[in-house]
Structure 1
Amino acid sequence: MLLEGNVAIVTGAGPGLGRTLAGVLSEEGARVVVAARTAATLEKIAAEVPGVLAVPCDVTRIDDVRRFAATVIDRFGRVDVLVNAAFPGSHRGNVLDMSADDLEAWRRAVETGGYGTLLACRFIAPHMVAQRSGSIVNITSMSSRKGYAGRSDYAAGKAAAHLLSHCLADELGPYGVRVNCVAPGWIASDVLDEWMRTRAAAEGVTFEEILARDLSAMALRRIATEEDVARAVVYLASHHARAVTGATIDVNGGQLFA
């Protein structure tokens, strides 16, 4: 088990990737703490992953994050791994078509992805600095380096976390704390399938035709799974990556080389 005895935090632990991250980290021997705004989601993860500590927290609120960090330290006395995965659900919309409500949703998305990641690092990393070790892994995206029409909120929020990771890697490296990113592309899910079906209907073709076209743009001809992403996180969190910081592992099946 690569993370035996470690204390690992996952922020933004939703029912999809967040749940998988918690499960895989736990399988690798870590004691896992999950944080998210929705208590019901956290309770479901805690029920499915034995031993997980669930703590409600809004990562965009300073007092919430400060209280969360104190709770973890009071319980375990240390933090070895911090995985920042918080990001609200985003919608597709071109900038020039945005209403006042859309603009506010855009602001919240970027605030969660950028400022929320910053706050989690600000209040948790000092404990890593004190123990002279630790690994921070920020979940960014293929979109953090290549923008797509209608996804400016997602791209801007993830790009903020991406470049913040570089800054923190430089700042925290002298204290033995590593900061890296895992950048997924598409992740296999019902939501992705539904989007492909919508595109297929709009073009008057079958789902299978859309899927084949999309796979042909990927070097590996396969769409990554949540576990593929989680395994990359485990590598960066483990001692196997002890000389790796300021780096990004792309988990996109070869859809984008950067």
Structure 2
Amino acid sequence: MMLDGKIAVITGAGPGLGRTLAVLMAREGADVVVAARSAETLAAIAGQVEAEGRRALAVPTDISDPAQAARLAETAAGRFGRVDVLVNAAFPGSHRRDVLDMDDAHLERWRRAVETAAFGTLLACRHIAPHMVAAGMGSIVNITSMSSRGGYAGRSDYAAGKAAVHLLSHCLADELGPSGVRVNCVAPGWIASDVLDDWMRARAEAENTTFEAIRARDTAAMALRRIATEEDVARAVIWLASDQAAATTGATIDVNAGQYFT
């Protein structure tokens, strides 16, 4: 029970990694507040947390909106009296578009993506961290990416947004450390999912080969010869959130099965 009795807030709690985080944190003893834009998705995740025997609160939130971010913090602290852990995982999907091919609509999606990742993370920390500072303790874990330190064509929105969160985390670690609040990152690489499988199938068709050949080639470039799972990522988050990481701040844990070393 690494998080026994803790109150955790997860932003960007969607049906993938966010759901896995919420359920595993509940199994480790945390009561969980989930925030995202979809009320229906949040209600389902809250139900899974409660099925684990923990308390849950669903707060529909656009985390890039200052008023909604403030309301999330007030609602969470008002319900549970405090917040011990904040996990920032919000990020809209990337659109895979080269910069010179972007029209006005693509440029607006780029702005929105970076705003959700960077400004949204900033707002969540700005409004929730004061509750941790008042308590003299707390842990913030920001989900960045392997792409935060190495961009490639068509993904500038994703890379820029995650890179901003990466360095914001360093700044916050320095600012909040004297108050006993730790700030760290978990940087996933590829995560096993239907979306990743669909991308591999599309590449296989483009290269006139098989899905199995593409998957074998990709995993051969990973030291562990496998693709990380949502649970692999969630376990790293849970460790950083727990008291076992009491002397760790300003750090990044890479969870990419050895696809990229730092």
Shift of 1:49: 2.3
1:16 is matched with: 16
Asked whether 1:48 is paired with 2:48, we answer yes
Q: Which amino acid aligns with 1:247?
A: A
CA drift at 1:15: 0.4
RMSD after superposition: 0.6
Return the offset for 1:207: 0.6
Mapped partners of 1:95, 1:41: distance in 2:
32
Deviation at 1:107, TM superposition (A): 0.2
Secondary structure of the residue aligned to 1:60 is coil
Say if 2:25 is the partner of 1:30.
Answer: no
Judge conservation of contact 2:8–2:86 (CA < 8 Å) in 1: yes
Aligned to 2:7: 7
Q: Deviations over 1:150-183 (max 9, x none)?
A: 1000000000110000000000000100000000
Gaps spanning 5+ residues in structure 2: where? none
TM superposition shift of 1:38: 1.2
Question: Distance between the aligned counterparts of 1:65 and 1:136, measured in 2?
Answer: 15
Q: How does 1:132-151 map to 2 (within 5 A)?
A: 132-151=136-155
Match of 1:241 in 2: 245
**Superposition deviation, residue 91 in structure 1:** 1.2
How much does 1:148 deviate?
A: 1.3
Structure-2 separation of matches of 1:195 and 1:3: 35
Match of 1:126 in 2: 130
Which residue identity lines up with residue 228 of structure 2 in the other structure?
A
Q: Does 1:104 align with 2:117?
A: no
Find the aligned partners of 1:216 and 1:74 in 2 and give their Cα distance.
49
- Amino acid across the alignment from 1:134: G
Q: How far off is 1:90 after superposition?
A: 1.4
Q: After the TM superposition, which parts of structure 1 deviate over 4 Å for at least 4 consecutive aligned residues?
A: none
Q: Is the 8 A contact 2:32 2:49 kept in 1?
A: no
Q: Distance in 1 between matches of 2:175 and 2:48?
A: 37
**From 72, 92, 111, the counterpart of 2:76:** 72
TM-score, reference length from structure 1: 0.99
Q: Provide the residue aligned with 1:157 in structure 2.
A: 161
> What percent of counterpart residues are identical?
73
3-state DSSP of counterpart to 1:34:
strand
CA distance in 2, matches of 1:52, 1:74: 13
1:88 aligns with 2:92: yes
User: CA separation in 2, counterparts of 1:165 and 1:78?
Assistant: 21
C-alpha displacement of 1:47: 2.2
